[in-house]
Structure 1
């Protein structure tokens, strides 16, 4: 309990009252004394109230100064935090981190291939056959990768991208040991609606994406593996016009540098239309000249069969349309492709001349999410490739692993048509981890799959796959 202390002015008033009472009582009546006492009490009350007024005013002023319910100490701490934040932002910009995004993933994969009599993990394995790899195949495409992606956008709107994928990116497929999957720039001309694009760009055809983070299954469809380009090295433009996005480049296809005597690039283009929030379609094409693998075929001794043709490019024409519908738990995607390359067929004509490789194909995918974490997927592919003994883009000889070319003891002028049914499931274990599994049945119209254990050729092959995809 707080003790009450008399004010000095109140003490003086009481002394004056004592002096008055000390005089003769007869000098004034009792009524006069009562009035004086009441007056003195009122004066004391007034004097005692005066010191509290400045304190109340001070409190009001402090309340106005300490806004948002903060004390002066809290306001000072806020100022210090603001200064530190500004310093960190300045340092981040000075070191080039402003507008920088870093992402990546790894997806160790297990593959069982019945015809190849092989089962085991695939991770960071080489593609280049000259470096111990086994080439690009449907059971050994881009999965089993470790990828890191750097993207940066400057204040001017220029975008820069570098994606590294050692042994597993497009660079390792067409440029042997290159770890570069993508190295590109995008510059607004003069605004973000029209942009200059240049560098090494992975192919953009089809409904299926290359990265495992954007692919519902482990393997890719037949059209992706055998009928589409790998990458482009060149420059072009990208235009955004309402619901349409167009892009086109003049580039080298599947090579970072043209060989001697080859001067003509390809024109590669793509257009996408977003019909609404849930659906859209697009088309892509390539027209020009590119390397002809048929000219590079060697005999058993490693000697070129056509030394005068080695290194020469031939005409290629590719076109595809694709579309998608994604709403709720359902995803539906589809693609149709057609292609032709001059002098690239597997079989020679009866007079020994080269023939054109021709093909067309269809691919469709349906996926359904049973829960927000669990999804199942079915994909069906068909590839017609029977003309002139077969032959596909970059595949100009019979291939008993991928099922390309004429069947054993069959008509050498008739290649095998291919199909594949793939069933898969994925489970989102946590926001950065996905478990995948799939079963794939590949079939051909002729016995073109070699069973390496028995040496027999069959019309079908079975594949099982599983992977753990961890991304950030």
Structure 2
């Protein structure tokens, strides 16, 4: 009898034999697939390297486009040179203020009010040296002294830093400048407004040697042309460090008459480091034969001004300034707007409350104490506030009701925009 297990074993053997080719095919397919994957990886790597190489290599420049661009630039430069615009700069300042004081009959916005005054507009066109020659034209539409504030030019001399300067230029003296964007407070100090010239018109030279610089001019001072000899103005500066410097200046005027001959001299200095700013000035003045008592003696005066500024925050600066002018000698007299010795602007002989002269040989002295804040709204805008106390040794202030006073208090705020 046949064993029933034998047919089953035969069938299992046949099934295994039939399955072996399939297993071999599957094993062969897996190996090929692995090789294909490796090949694709290598191709991807090569492709990535080609892409990186193409990215690092600059694109070819179209010669025609490049030449057209060069021609456009050259034509634009030629047009600018022909039109005179090459190296030209434009600047402007606008200052608007509001103030209230004890003297004026009204309060409000004004371009020039009170002691020192404020509120102005300025537009400046200047040209950088082209072949060494530069010029500046500065206009002041609201100024009572004329629309042209500066019209000057400079011409180099030799191969050094010396140059000829000529035309109309502002006064050289003091630590304060003409425009609100260059000064921290609203008003100017007493020395700036009452013991300094306003401008010069003439010709001179400017030099620079290391930390030293100097300039001088011969010509008219404050527009007064009746001179036997031209006026002489000069200034020298020494840059002690990147934080500090010192300067001195003088103005000497000789008229056709004995009276009105004036000598003004001053020295000023500054130091700015970190949050602290210090500025100071000492001035001396003389008007030959200009004594306020009419004796024919000389009017003599001296004055000081000092300013301290401290930044409470990067944009906010607290400020204080003290000014003093001693004008007691020979009945007073001071230089003011080119008039020589003058009793104007609350100077002159010392008066009592009724306007009577207390002592003919004693002039009026004045001081001013100013405190305020300067806030930098942005790089081109400043907001200022200020409280100023002006005092006199006599009753030389007169208010709108014709009442004599020994002082004046001014409260003001203003905004300065520049570009």
**Superposition TM-score, scaled by structure 1 size:** 0.72
**Equivalent-residue separation in structure 2 for 1:160 and 1:356 (angstroms):** 40
The alignment covers a number of residue pairs equal to 365
* Residue 83 of structure 2 corresponds to residue 138 of structure 1: no
Partners of 2:300 and 2:417 lie apart in 1 by 39
1:84, CA displacement in angstroms?
2.7
CA contact (8 A) 1:138 1:402 kept: no
Which of 324, 340, 350 pairs up with 1:406?
350
CA gap 1:217/1:192 in 2 versus in 1, 3 angstroms: farther
Structure 1 position 214, deviation (Å): 0.7
| RMSD, aligned α-carbons | 2.7
Q: Is structure 2 residue 232 aligned with structure 1 residue 285?
A: no
Aligned partners of 1:337 and 1:362 also within 8 Å: yes
Q: Are 2:405 and 1:461 aligned?
A: no
Q: Provide the C-alpha distance between the structure 1 equivalents of 2:314 and 2:66, rounded to a whole number of angstroms.
A: 42
* Pair 1:369-2:357 in alignment: no
CA distance in 1 between partners of 2:298 and 2:397 (Å): 24
Partner of 1:344: 290
Distance across 2 between alignment mates of 1:270 and 1:325: 19
Equivalent residue runs for 1:16-95 within 5 Å: 69-72=57-60, 80-95=68-83
1:208 to 176, 190, 210: 176
Query: What corresponds to 1:119 in structure 2?
Result: 107
1:304 corresponds in structure 2 to none
| 1:107-164 CA distance string (max 9 Å, x none) | 01212121223311113x6xxxxxxxx9xx6343xx3111011110243111101000
- Report the counterpart of residue 101 of structure 1 in structure 2: 89
Q: Aligned pair in 2 of structure 1 residues 78, 427: CA closer, same or farther (>3 Å)?
A: farther
Matched, 1:187 2:129: no
Q: Is the 8 A contact 1:403 1:416 kept in 2?
A: yes
Equivalent position of 2:382 in the other structure:
434
Q: Is 1:164 aligned with 2:108? A: no
Query: Is 2:363 aligned against 1:415?
Result: yes
**Which of 250, 258, 283 is the equivalent residue of 2:225?**
258
Distance apart, 1:315 and its partner CA: 2.1
Report what 2:263 is aligned to.
317
Query: For 2:157 and 2:390, how far apart are their aligned partners in 1?
Result: 47
Please, which runs of 5 or more residues in structure 1 have no aligned partner? 1-59, 126-133, 292-308
Residue 127 of structure 2 is matched in structure 1 by: 152
Give the Cα–Cα distance (whole angstroms) in 2 for the partners of residues 358 and 156 of structure 1: 46
Q: Within 2, Cα distance between the matches of 1:253 and 1:336?
A: 21
- Whole-angstrom CA distance in 1 between matches of 2:319 and 2:346: 23
Residue 411 of structure 1 deviates from its aligned partner by 1.6
* Structure 2 stretches lacking a partner, 5+ long: 1-49
Asked if structure 1 preserves the Cα contact closer than 8 Å seen for 2:302 and 2:325, the reply is: yes
Question: Aligned-pair distance for 1:287?
Answer: 2.0
> Which protein is richer in strand relative to its size?
2
Normalised to the residue count of structure 2, the TM-score between the two structures is: 0.80
Report the counterpart of residue 276 of structure 1 in structure 2: 241
1:430 positional shift = 1.7
CA shift digits 1:76-109 (9 cap, x unpaired):
6555444433332222222111111111110012
Runs of 4+ that moved beyond 4 A: 73-80
SS state of the match for residue 381, structure 1? strand
Instruction: Please report how far the alpha carbon of residue 242 of structure 1 lies from its aligned counterpart in structure 2 after TM superposition.
Output: 0.7
Match of 1:247 in 2: 215
What is the distance in 1 between the residues matched to 2:215 and 2:195?
A: 20
Please tell me whether the aligned partners of residues 157 and 192 of structure 1 are also in contact (alpha carbons under 8 angstroms): no
Structure-2 residue corresponding to 1:450? 398
Deviation string 1:189-226 (CA, Å, 9 cap, x unpaired) is 01351110111111010111111111111111111111
